[in-house]
Structures are given as C-alpha cells and as structure tokens.
Amino acid sequence: MERASCLLLLLLPLVHVSATTPEPCELDDEDFRCVCNFSEPQPDWSEAFQCVSAVEVEIRAGGLNLEPFLKRVDADADPRQYADTVKALRVRRLTVGAAQVPAQLLVGALRVLAYSRLKELTLEDLKITGTMPPLPLEATGLALSSLRLRNVSWATGRSWLAELQQWLKPGLKVLSIAQAHPPAFSCEQVRAFPALTSLDLSDNPGLGERGLIAALCPHKFPALQNLALRNTGMETPTGVCAALAAAGVQPHSLDLSHNSLRATVNPSAPRCMWFSALNSLNLSFAGLEQVPKGLPAKLRVLDLSCNRLNRAPQPDELPEVDNLTLDGNPFLVSGTALPQEGSMNSGVVPACARSTLSVGVSGTLVLLQGARGFA
C-alpha cells in the first residue's frame, strides 16, 4: 500500500501538467482525423508528425509569421526526391489556417503536395506575403477536386487567382472563395476551369450584382452547375439573372439565400429572361414580404422558407414549381406577431432565427457535390 501511495504521488505532477498544457496535436483513435493548434509563441512544429497517418489533417498556426521557415527549408528544392514518401501519405483533406505565409513557402508546399494523393485543400485566415514565383517547367500541378479559400489576403492584388491556378491541374470540380481580399480577380489572366461544376462565392457582402459580372469571368466556367451567392449583396433575382446572362453562366442550381432581397423590380431595368437550365432556386432567409417579381417561369425546386411572408402566395405569383418550400414564414405559424413599424420585431419566426444562429456564417457550408471520391 505504501509503495502504491508513493507511485500516485509521483504521477500527480504528470497529471497536472497534462491537464494544464494540452498537446498541440490530437489524432483520433481511428488514425483518421488529426488537428493541430500551434498557439504558443514558439511552438514545437515537430508535433505535427503525429498526423502523418491521418486522412483528414487540420493545422492552425495561431496567427504566427512562418517566414522563419524559409531559413530552415529550401523552398526551391526539387520535390521529386521526396515523391515516393509523399505519395505514401494517407492525407486526402488538408486545412491550413491562421498564419502569415510567404508566397515562396506556399509554393514550396504546393510543389511537394503535387506528389501526394490530396483531393481537398482548405486555406483559412491566411495572409500571403510576397509574389508567387512562376511554375517551373518540370513541376507538376496539384490534382485537387475541391479548393476552399476563406479570409485569405494576397499581396499580388487581383492576379492572385491566376497565380494560384497555375499550380493546379485542370480537374478542379469545387471552388469556394469567401471573404476574399481582394474580392475581384483579373479575368484576363485566369484560364478556364473546364471541370468546375460548383462555385461558391458566399460571404463576400461587398460583391453586389455588378461585382458578380466581374467575378464570373465569361467563358471560364463552361461546366458550372451549382452557384452559391449567400450573403453577397445581391438585391433582386432579376438583377442576378442579368449578371449571369452578361457572364454567359447558366447554372442548374442557384442559392441566393441570406441576402436582403427586394421583391419589386426597377421599372427602368431591362427584363431578363431566365435560362431554361435553372431548375433550383433558393431564396430563403432573404427578408421577403412577398414573392419577388421576375422569377423563372418553371422550376423544379423553389425555397422561400424563413422569410416574412404574411399570407400564402397566390398561384399567379409563383412560377410553375414541383417542390415549393414555405416553412418558417409568419402566415404558417399561429401566434406570430406581425412586424410593426419602428419595432424590434422583425417578423421572423423564432425557429428560423435559431436556425440562423446555428448555421453561423452561411458560406461555411461548401458545395461538395462530386468531390468526395478519393483516388
């Protein structure tokens, strides 16, 4: 008993240290997901080696400047010498966030990852400094199916997408660009995305309908099927229709939720004829008090949920639609008070308000159709 008591006394400091200084990296029991959060001023980066067996890897650097890495690694070294080792890694989804990253270091990482089996890459809360060097002749692009960018700033200005694109193979299917800095990019320099089926520009509130025309570079998204524009400063469905027509984009699914949409159309604005390819339109959480004018004549899916409709829409107000969703509007909820002028009551059904809070920033839900297949 005495020996057991002594052993417990020896273990107590270890338990205390473990409780107060958590490890920066955690790997789950199935060796599937590994998360690293390097929040210390001088982190031990070698802890990330725990993640070499994981399929999903998330690494956040606590806002640290990674420029000192340029002194420790040769970003210009030929990565082919590591090709077999990198190809053996299990990682398929990688998230890198919260850091200041020199463009040379980013390019060095992309060159190495080009030999991996990585399919989905997410960059969040990053500040890319310096200019990105051109793609070497012997370099191979990164074969991604999904690329997600959120709150990433680029020192290269409007040319950032073209410079990043040169490091990617042309098979990208899903692209998400949220909180972009700058929000626009140079269409003249961007090459076509021949395989891209889903584009998400959500959570760029300064984009607007005029900026949308610039963002949807004409003839650069020939295979686009799903377009998400949540919280992007869109004003009317008709205005979006005109922007899409100007850009020559005809998605099958269009998400305009979480915009403050107007139901009326500017009488001086030219009428826009919706393209027949569109079969799904999401106008939920748009603050609508009536069905907007100028909707497509026929839809398979129309979502008007969680708006401020105080009465059931009349048949002549709606397009021909197979699946209409009106859940969460005041006229369907008994006891919901109508909004009074100057009052704090917005007329939003409480369940929809809770849903908005639970979802948080709308663009966090990325369109991933067709991007889950691993090589």
Looking at residue 34, which CATH number applies to its domain?
Answer: 3.80.10.10
* Within a domain: 291: yes
| φ/ψ of residue 105, rounded to 5 | -70, -40
User: Looking at residue 243, what is its pLDDT?
Assistant: 93
**For residue 21, what pLDDT is reported?**
59
Cα–Cα nearest to 25, from 45, 40, 57, 47: 47
In a domain, 358, yes or no: no
Based on the number of CB atoms within 10 Å of its own CB, is 162 exposed (0-12), middle (13-18) or buried (19 or more)? middle
* CA distance readout (Å), 206 to 156, 181, 229, 330: 20, 11, 12, 30
CA 15 – CA 80 distance, rounded (Å): 44
One domain for residues 235 and 314: yes
Q: Are residues 106 and 241 in the same domain?
A: no
User: What pLDDT, in 10s, does the model give residues 123-147?
Assistant: 999 999 998 888 777 778 899 999 9
Whether the predicted pLDDT of 105 surpasses 60: yes
183 and 326 together in one domain: yes
In a domain? residue 345: no
Question: Is the same domain home to 182 and 307?
Answer: yes
Give residue 209's domain range: 169-331
3-state secondary structure 30-72: CCCEEEEECCCCCCCHHHHHHHHHCCEEEEEEEEEECCCHHHH
CA separation, residue 320 to residues 12, 183, 300, 314, 335 (Å): 70, 36, 8, 12, 31
Tell whether 8 is covered by a domain: no
Instruction: Determine the pLDDT at residue 266.
Output: 73
Of all helices (H) and strands (E), which one includes residue 303? strand 298-303
pLDDT bin (cut points 50, 70, 90) of residue 339 is very low
What is the residue-averaged pLDDT of the chain?
85
Checking if the pLDDT of 320 tops 60, the result is yes
Same domain, 173 and 121: no
Instruction: Provide the pLDDT for residue 56.
Output: 98
Do residues 257 and 230 make contact, with C-beta atoms less than 8 angstroms apart? Answer: yes
- Helical H segments across 140-220, by residue range: 160-165, 208-215
Tokens matching residue 173: 């299917």
Same structural domain for residues 231 and 326?
yes
Residue 257: is its pLDDT beyond 90? yes
Give this prediction's pTM.
Answer: 0.85
| pLDDT recorded at residue 32 | 97
Check whether residue 260 and residue 308 sit in a common domain.
yes
pLDDT at 246 > cutoff 70: yes
Same domain membership, residue 304 and residue 174:
yes
Q: Name the most confidently modeled range: 75-79, 205-209, 253-257.
A: 253-257
Confirm whether 247 is domain-assigned: yes
Q: Do 188 and 92 fall into the same domain?
A: no
pLDDT at 353: 72
- Total domains in the chain come to 2
- Poorest-pLDDT segment among 142-146, 147-151, 329-333, 343-347: 343-347
Residues 116 and 264 in one domain: no
13 CB-contact burial (10 Å; exposed 0-12 / middle 13-18 / buried 19+): exposed
For the chain, percent of residues with pLDDT exceeding 90: 66
pLDDT range class, residue 70, cuts 50, 70, 90? confident
**pLDDT above 80 for 348:** no
Per the listing, tokens 């839900």 go with 365
Tell me, what's the pLDDT at 104? 92
Q: Any idea which of 59-73, 157-171, 360-374 has the lowest mean pLDDT?
A: 360-374
- Specify if 293 maps to a domain: yes
Which of 111, 144, 177 finishes a domain?
A: 144
Residue type for position 169: K
